[in-house]
Each structure stands twice: as structure tokens, then as C-alpha cells.
Chain A
Amino acid sequence: MTPVGLSHFLILAAILFALGLIAVITKRNAVTVLMGVELIINAANINFIAFARYLDKDLDGQVFGIFTIIIAAAGAAVALAIVLNIYQQMQSVDLDEADSLAR
């Protein structure tokens, strides 16, 4: 068993990414799809930090991690506003039922 190094963290991030992708594909509730998106963003962020720790030796990767978290927060806020708006219009957050542009 090799000691824990860069590839261990990358594999963990890859599995997290796949789990988030499963949630995005299979869930029918829009809020849980958003949760899957957040999981994918976290997986990408782990990659940034791991490369910054093991390959780069300076803090550029961590700065990118901070920007990623900020943009994820902005995206979650706007996406939830859109989901709530859809709920007010259609009385449902099921993505399969949100198939009409008419009011």
C-alpha cells in the first residue's frame, strides 16, 4: 500500500465527481440537482488544492479555490431564485414537468 500522495486525492475527487454527476442525471427534484452540482464543484476544488500542494509549491491553486467557492455561492443563490420562481409558476420543482414556456 503506497503512502497517501497526490493520486489518492485525485482519485477521491474523481469519485466525488462521478457521484455528483449521478445526482445531476438521475434526480427529478431541481433542488437535489443543485446539490449534485455543488458536489461536482467541490470535487474540482479538491483537484485545485491537491495540485497546489503537490506540484506547484505556491498558493495560486488556493486562490483559484477561493474564487471557485465564491462563484459557486453566487451560482447557488441565482439558481435557487430561479427554482423558486418555477415553483411559483408551476407549483412543482419536478424537472420533467417544467417543459413549457407558457405561463
Chain B
Amino acid sequence: MTTFDVMFYVIAALTLFSASVMVFGRNIIYNAVGLLLAFVGVAGIYVMLGADFLAATQMLIYVGGILVLLLFGVMLSQRFSGAEMRTGTLRVWPAILVCAGIAAILVRVITSNPWNVATSAEMQPTVHNLGYLLMTDYLIPFEIVSVLLLAALVGAAFISRRREVQ
């Protein structure tokens, strides 16, 4: 086993364990912390795949942005009196069975498919080429997604503002 393999298994174990904490934990704050560690683990996976810019983006947007947003959602939608911080579950065992079946099918497909893997090139910094692609080949999607972000911002502010009581 090379260092790469050991690193992969360590990061994968961290990611899956914290994702399990998020899925099976009862306390909603523990769920959020598990999700945070899972996002950090996914950023590590990106680093192992040679996607340095995406790893940094993952840390900034997911860990710094979306998770804080979710925690705000938790704080604003719970009553802090007593045991309201827990999240109930329902139909756990059928869900686990069905999802384990789906995962088993996916793993079977992945392992039985002869992937035409090219000999892996050495990893290079991607920031320069990514910026070039975003300004040339992907300029139209880039602009569309910026308009989408603006629309989502305005829409979220409009939906969540407090109505005046009539």
C-alpha cells in the first residue's frame, strides 16, 4: 500500500463516519457537526483527485457558507425549551434496507464495469486552466449561473422576510 492508498482510506473513513453521524444521530447539532466533517472529508477527496481549486471552493462555500446557513436554519426554527433540539425519524429500517440495496446495485455496476482508465497523468495546478475555461468555453453557463444566483438571492430574501400582521 502506498501513501496515496493509506491517505484515501483514512479520508474515506472520516467522511463515511461523519456522514453516518449526520444520518443516524438524533441531536440536530450533532447532525450539523457530522455534516461539517463530511464536507471537510469530501474536500480532502478533491485534493486526492488533483482538484485543488475545487477543494478550496468546497471549504469556502460548503463549510463556510452552506453549513452556517443550515445552522441558522436550525437556530431559527427550534424552540430552545426542553428536548426540542432532537429530530425524529420514521420508517428507519425499510429506508436502510432500500438504500443499502441501491448502494449494492451501484457498487456491483461500478465493480463489474471495465473502466477504460487512461494512465494517470501527474497532477498539475488547475486554477489557471479553470479560469481560462470559464471565460471561453463555459462563458454562457457562467453568466446564466450568475443570473441564477442573483435570482436566488432576491427570491430567498423575499420569501423569508417577515410579513406584517394584518
Contacts and interface: CB of A to CB of B under 8 A. Distances in A.
A10 B149 CA distance: 29
Interface in A70-102: 70-78, 80-85, 87-88, 93-94, 96
Interface size range on B against A: 35 or more
Interface string B52-89: 01100110011001100110111011100000000111
Contact of A31 (B70, B110, B117): B70
B12 A12 contact: yes
B143 to A, nearest CB: 12
Contact of B23 (A19, A52, A57, A65): A19
A17 B81 CA distance: 34
B117 A5 contact: yes
Contact of A74 (B38, B91, B130, B152): B152
Interface of B: 1-2, 4-5, 8-9, 12, 15-16, 19-20, 22-23, 28, 31-32, 35, 38-39, 42, 45-46, 49-51, 53-54, 57-58, 61-62, 65-66, 69-70, 72-74, 76-78, 87-92, 95-96, 98-100, 102-103, 106-107, 110-111, 115-118, 120-121, 126, 129-130, 133-134, 138, 141, 145, 148-149, 152-153, 155-157, 159-160, 162-163
Which A-B residue pairs are the 9 nearest by beta carbons?
A: A74-B152, A18-B103, A81-B160, A14-B106, A29-B87, A81-B159, A81-B156, A25-B95, A18-B99
Interface of A: 1, 3-12, 14-23, 25-32, 34-36, 38-39, 42, 45-46, 49-50, 52-55, 57, 59-60, 62-63, 65-67, 69-78, 80-85, 87-88, 93-94, 96
